[in-house]
Amino acid sequence: MRCSHGITRLLSITGIPRSSYYKWRATQPQQDARQDREREIKEHMMAIHFANREFGYPRMTTALWESGLNVNHKKV
């Protein structure tokens, strides 16, 4: 609806402050990048798990480090 109406008008109708909208809009690319990285880490973890089912978090963390992903053991 931004094409047919101004942002200020749409935000006033919905009751959202302009500053909140622009702050949300500025964080979107960061959130997308974070989700992509999380997905990549999860795929690597699942691949390692299926290859070595006996790995716990210490060995899984080491395997992720060896594959080039610097991941904290708490994430694993």
Give the model's confidence band at 31: pLDDT under 50 very low, under 70 low, under 90 confident, else very high.
confident
The token pair at 55 is: 């790995």
Structure token pair of residue 5: 């109406």
Q: Over 80: is that where the pLDDT of 2 sits? A: no
Burial class of residue 62, CB neighbours in 10 A (0-12, 13-18, 19+):
middle
- What's residue 40's pLDDT? 93
CA-based nearest residue to 17, from 5, 28, 8, 29: 8
Summary mean pLDDT of the chain: 89
Residues 41-71: pLDDT tens digits? 999 999 999 999 999 999 999 999 999 999 9
> pTM for the complete prediction?
0.60
Whether 1 shows a pLDDT value over 80: the answer reads: no
